[in-house]
């Protein structure tokens, strides 16, 4: 099954590239984010109970009451259905989506027995739990039809889904992370979703997992489960800390031992973060599925999947035209490197994992990319205009983007000298007529964070990284946009679901912002003359460089300068 998925993924790449090349660019102006993400768990708390319709209520009051009752998911929205005629209550599908709005809307008469409600929409959660943040000032008008039934107004036609004001959404929904895998089964790739915090959340999580990854991740990851695998039993009961997942036979009962082990791994990752689940038991049509122990698998089939990989705490920077290492407050020399001072090096990079010591950097003009190793002359690997700071992934590739006019090109250059070809131009149709100011690859290698400039308007995006079977980059999938509140120029990964963004300035005060994939953003204290922020995946410390102070770290909400350190342009591995 894993092999079938890999073959499908790989053989589909050429077709996908043709499609990408043939399609006109489609860049989303909206993307999955939220506001404040509660921790995953199954506390099963609710917003205040919804109020049923009152005798003699006007049509406007019935519509308003129905909207408010969307916060009450108890008993399959029994209170909300009381505002509807029996037929409408039967047909209404509250789980189709949830519209999150920011302010109380008016209920306006729009015709005979019809009313309209214009919502100021912040975001929309679809039936799979994928939250999409909409552009500021987005509106959606929803129409309702009512009639008098036995002297009382009732809704006879309403849009599927619920409508929640932002405060109620934070009470009723919770963020939860699903996991899929990179094609080489080295990393678990997170996929953030939002689910109703109610009994049965475990079955919703499993159903969403079986349905596959979010669209932006789909071309970059694989699942242990083939398309079409479903829950045989709709519920996922939990007894004494063990969740019982009963799956349909097709695509599961004939799976190889290694494939079954991967199924167990994926379900464990999805469910054991819930506070009351410690173990997951998989059955097929209520028959126990044999899951092999790791020791029972061949060496090549044993799972060594990393979840939330962390980079080393030692950074690389530049002092007096020479690369240095910086471990917190300790500056370290790097032995046997050639003299590169005449190149005026900038923007150094180092991979999170590599078989030998290798670095990357740009020249002072920003139009040449070099690889650098001890006891060897520097290797010029790319010449192009307006190169972004290099990002070195864990698959042997250094990434950068160049710009010519209003068009960007993404480049991947092999720092692993055993790889062929030694370079790859990465396809992304949505880059047409746009430039990239920053490009960073996550430690899992399956996601790229990009600051995109579209005629002066800049946004932060995350896109799936499409690779072939040997890990060679081939393309970037359609991206999702993340909400930000500060000026943008640079981005860095700080964790599997967190990034830092900022814009540099020699003279002005600039504000860095921590951005999460669930939307729990935080603007840090502003800095005068901000040049660089260095953060690393799994590293809690945040360092900043300004024109006057090369090295300072964030302590609480205060930047603390360490003036004795002279290393500049620091970067964590990645």
Among residues 55, 49, 51, the alpha carbon closest in space to that of 64 is found at 51
The share of the chain scoring above pLDDT 70, in percent, equals: 92
**Sequence-distant contacts of 561-565: CB under 8 A, at least 24 apart:** 562/329, 565/326, 565/329, 565/331
Lowest-pLDDT range of 354-358, 496-500, 514-518: 354-358
pTM (predicted TM-score): 0.89
For residue 356, the model assigns a pLDDT of: 86
- Give tens-digit pLDDT for 540-559: 999 999 999 999 999 999 99
The secondary structure of 470-537, three-state, reads: CCCEEEECCCEEECCCCCCCEEEEEECCEEEEECCCCCCEECCEEEECCCCCEECCCEECEEEEECCC
Distance in angstroms (rounded) separating the CA atoms of residues 318 and 542: 18
- Give tens-digit pLDDT for 112-169: 999 999 999 999 999 999 999 888 899 999 999 999 999 999 999 999 999 999 989 9
For residue 136, the model assigns a pLDDT of: 85
Distance from first CA to last CA of the chain, Å, rounded? 32
For residue 28, the model assigns a pLDDT of: 53
pLDDT exceeds cutoff 50 at 322: yes
For residue 48, the model assigns a pLDDT of: 54
Distance in angstroms (rounded) separating the CA atoms of residues 499 and 150: 57
Yes or no: say if 570 and 315 are a contact pair by the CB < 8 Å rule: yes
3-state SS, residue 196: strand
pLDDT exceeds cutoff 60 at 476: yes
3-state SS, residue 20: helix
Instruction: List Cβ neighbours of 204 (8 Å cut-off, separation of 6 or more).
Output: 129, 195, 196
Q: What are phi and psi of 228, to 5 degrees?
A: 100, -15
DSSP 381-433: EEE-SSPPPPEE-TTSEEEEEEEETTEEEEEEEE-STT-SSSEEEEB-GGGTT
Tokens (6 digits) for 231: 């829950």
CA dihedral 227, 231, 236, 240 (to 10 degrees): -90
Residue 27 confidence class, pLDDT cut points 50, 70, 90: low
Yes or no: say if 285 and 249 are a contact pair by the CB < 8 Å rule: yes
pLDDT exceeds cutoff 90 at 7: no
Domains of the chain by start residue, with CATH:
59-171 (3.10.450), 176-307 (no CATH), 314-571 (2.120.10.30)
89 membership: H or E segment, kind and range? helix 86-91
Exposure on the CB side of residue 129, measured as CA atoms within 13 A: 28
């Amino acid at each position: 099954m894993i092999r079938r998925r890999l073959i499908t993924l790989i053989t589909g790449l050429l077709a996908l590239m043709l499609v990408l090349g043939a399609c006109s660019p489609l860049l989303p102006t909206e993307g999955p984010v939220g506001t404040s993400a509660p921790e995953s768990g199954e506390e099963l708390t609710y917003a205040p109970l919804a109020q049923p319709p009152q005798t003699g209520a006007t049509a406007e009051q019935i519509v308003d009451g129905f909207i408010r009752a969307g916060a009450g998911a108890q008993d399959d929205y029994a209170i909300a259905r009381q505002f509807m005629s029996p037929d409408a209550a039967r047909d209404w599908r509250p789980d189709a989506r949830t519209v999150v709005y920011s302010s109380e809307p008016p209920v306006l008469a729009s015709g005979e027995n019809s009313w309209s409600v214009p919502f100021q929409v912040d975001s929309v959660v679809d039936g799979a739990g994928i939250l999409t943040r909409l552009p500021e000032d987005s509106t959606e008008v929803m129409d309702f039809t009512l009639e008098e039934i036995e002297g009382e107004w009732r809704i006879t036609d309403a849009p599927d889904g619920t409508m929640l004001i932002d405060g109620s959404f934070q009470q009723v929904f919770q963020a939860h992370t699903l996991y899929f895998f990179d094609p080489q089964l080295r990393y678990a790739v997170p996929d953030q979703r939002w689910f109703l915090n109610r009994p049965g959340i475990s079955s919703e999580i499993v159903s969403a997992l079986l349905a596959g990854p979010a669209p932006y991740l789909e071309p970059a990851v694989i699942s242990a489960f083939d398309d079409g695998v479903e829950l045989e039993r709709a519920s996922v009961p939990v007894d004494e800390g063990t969740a019982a997942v009963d799956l349909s036979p097709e695509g599961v009962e004939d799976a190889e031992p290694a494939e079954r082990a991967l199924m167990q791994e994926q379900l464990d990752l999805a469910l054991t973060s819930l506070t009351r689940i410690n173990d997951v038991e998989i059955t097929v049509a209520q028959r126990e599925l044999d899951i092999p122990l790791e020791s029972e698998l061949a060496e090549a089939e044993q799972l060594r999947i990393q979840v939330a990989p962390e980079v080393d705490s030692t950074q690389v920077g530049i002092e007096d035209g020479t690369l240095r290492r910086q471990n917190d407050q300790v500056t370290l020399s790097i032995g046997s490197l050639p003299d590169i001072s005449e190149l005026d090096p900038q923007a150094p990079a180092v991979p999170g994992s590599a078989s030998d010591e290798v670095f990357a950097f740009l020249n002072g003009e920003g139009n040449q990319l070099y690889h650098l190793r001890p006891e060897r002359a520097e290797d010029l690997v790319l010449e192009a205009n307006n190169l972004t700071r290099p990002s070195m992934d864990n698959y042997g590739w250094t990434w950068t983007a160049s710009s010519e006019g209003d068009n960007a090109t993404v480049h991947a250059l092999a720092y692993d000298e055993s790889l062929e070809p030694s370079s790859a131009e990465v396809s992304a149709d949505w880059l047409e007529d746009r430039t990239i100011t920053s490009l960073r690859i996550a430690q899992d290698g399956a996601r790229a964070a990009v600051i995109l400039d579209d005629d002066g308007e800049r946004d932060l995006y995350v896109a799936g990284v499409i690779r072939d079977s040997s890990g060679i980059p081939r393309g970037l999938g359609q991206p999702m946009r993340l909400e930000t509140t500060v000026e943008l120029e640079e981005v860095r990964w700080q964790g599997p679901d967190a990034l830092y963004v900022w814009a540099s300035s020699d003279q002005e005060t600039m504000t860095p912002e921590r951005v999460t994939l669930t939307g729990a953003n935080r603007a840090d204290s502003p800095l005068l003359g901000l040049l660089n922020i260095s953060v690393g995946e799994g590293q809690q410390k945040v360092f900043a460089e300004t024109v006057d102070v090369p090295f300072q770290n964030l302590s609480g909400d205060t930047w603390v300068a360490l003036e004795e350190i002279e290393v500049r342009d620091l970067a964590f591995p990645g």
